């Protein structure tokens, strides 16, 4: 539908289109002609949305901090799941993974060769030398947040320490490329290059996503430029940067028994860090980590 310059803007601000999103739409149109589309404008977050999403993020990060203060050798992954459920609910939130598409727990706990979607269990006990990714997703007042952190359990080998460090660096390299009115592939390329320069491989077919109104929104966020869905990063867009980096091959396998647990095909360790990023007029803002 055509919007006149003096009509109310499509974003719902109540401001005239010419003083609100006319310039935005002109920039987007230039990139769309080059084959770099914008996501559905309904998924762009207004300032009021961002403030509510930040409240969800505060719970998410507070629960991470609690895990960091308690985790160690001898702790079961079920104990971590219990902490996540109890501490999230105590703050008025809901663990987003619980019953999501049938996932049976409140958090994903992925140890060593488990790439992602590890299911907590009383029988899985953390031991000295493990590395584990804790992936937390939170709903608060209908708004979603999502982040994951790596934890080193006791004394960890130097090769595992390097994998954890390089994965975090790759995420940070990607963040540096999050700028308004630039292609998402710039971020993906930065992640990919840093991983490959260090001799590792990025998992190709599992990536990040838009988030905020829903658990998973457009766009799919990949970290290998040759398979990435290239879209335009624009103000109001929120997505996760969460590369999964394997010490060996990029190939992974999904557990046929539980249908969730993803492992490296060669049994070598994997690491992942995840942050949740808002594209702003000036650059970016990390909302959750």
- Average pLDDT on 96-102 reads 98
Q: What is the Cα–Cα distance from 210 to 160, expressed in whole angstroms? A: 29
Partners of 270 in the β-ladder: 246
Return the sign of the alpha-carbon dihedral for residues 71, 100, 288, 110.
Answer: positive
Percent with pLDDT over 70 in the chain: 100
Three-state SS for 139? strand
- Average pLDDT on 41-59 reads 97
Pick the closest to residue 47 from 219, 289, 285 (CA basis): 285
What are the residue boundaries of the structural domains of the chain, listed by start?
A: 26-288
Q: What's the CATH number of domain 26-288, 3.40.50.150, 3.40.50.720, 3.20.20.70, 3.90.230.10?
A: 3.90.230.10
Q: What is the pLDDT of residues 134-190, one digit of tens each?
A: 999 999 999 999 999 999 999 999 999 999 999 999 999 999 999 999 999 999 999
Show contacts of 4-12: CB within 8 Å, 24+ apart: 10/41, 11/41, 11/44, 11/46, 12/46
Which residue, chain included where needed, has tokens 């869905």? 229
Buried b vs exposed e over 242-280: b needs ≥16 C-beta within 10 Å? bbbbbbbebebeeeeeeebbbbbeeebbbbbbbbbbbbe
Q: Return the structure tokens found at 287.
A: 């909302």
- Asked whether the predicted pLDDT for residue 35 surpasses 70, the reply is yes
Q: What is the pLDDT of residues 220-244, one digit of tens each?
A: 999 998 777 789 999 999 999 999 9
- Mean pLDDT, all residues of the chain: 96
- Asked whether the predicted pLDDT for residue 2 surpasses 80, the reply is no
How many residues are given for the chain? 289
219 vs 39, 232, 237, 249, CA distance in Å?
Answer: 7, 10, 10, 26
């Amino acid at each position: 539908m055509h919007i006149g310059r003096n009509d109310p803007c499509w974003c719902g601000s109540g401001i005239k289109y010419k003083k609100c999103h006319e310039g935005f739409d002109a920039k987007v149109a230039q990139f769309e002609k080059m084959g770099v589309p914008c996501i559905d404008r309904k998924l762009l977050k207004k300032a009021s949305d961002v403030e509510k999403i930040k409240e969800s993020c505060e719970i998410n990060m507070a629960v991470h901090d609690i895990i960091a203060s308690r985790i160690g050798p001898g702790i079961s992954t079920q104990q971590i799941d219990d902490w996540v459920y109890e501490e999230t609910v105590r703050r008025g939130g809901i663990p987003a993974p619980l019953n999501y598409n049938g996932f049976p727990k409140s958090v994903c706990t992925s140890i060593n060769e488990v790439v992602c979607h590890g299911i907590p269990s009383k029988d899985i006990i953390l031991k000295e030398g493990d590395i584990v990714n804790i992936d937390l997703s939170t709903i608060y007042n209908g708004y979603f947040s999502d982040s994951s952190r790596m934890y080193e359990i006791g004394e960890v080998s130097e090769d595992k320490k390097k994998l954890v460090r390089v994965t975090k660096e790759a995420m940070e390299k990607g963040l540096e490329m999050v700028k308004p009115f630039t292609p998402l592939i710039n971020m993906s390329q930065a992640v990919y290059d840093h991983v490959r320069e260090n001799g590792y491989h990025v998992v190709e077919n599992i990536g990040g996503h838009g988030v905020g109104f829903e658990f998973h929104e457009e766009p799919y966020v990949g970290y290998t430029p040759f398979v990435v869905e290239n879209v335009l990063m624009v103000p109001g867009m929120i997505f996760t940067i969460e590369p999964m980096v394997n010490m060996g091959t990029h190939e992974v396998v999904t557990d046929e028994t539980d249908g969730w647990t993803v492992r490296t095909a060669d049994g070598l360790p994997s690491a992942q860090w995840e942050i949740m990023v808002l594209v702003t007029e000036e650059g970016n803002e990390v909302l959750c980590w």
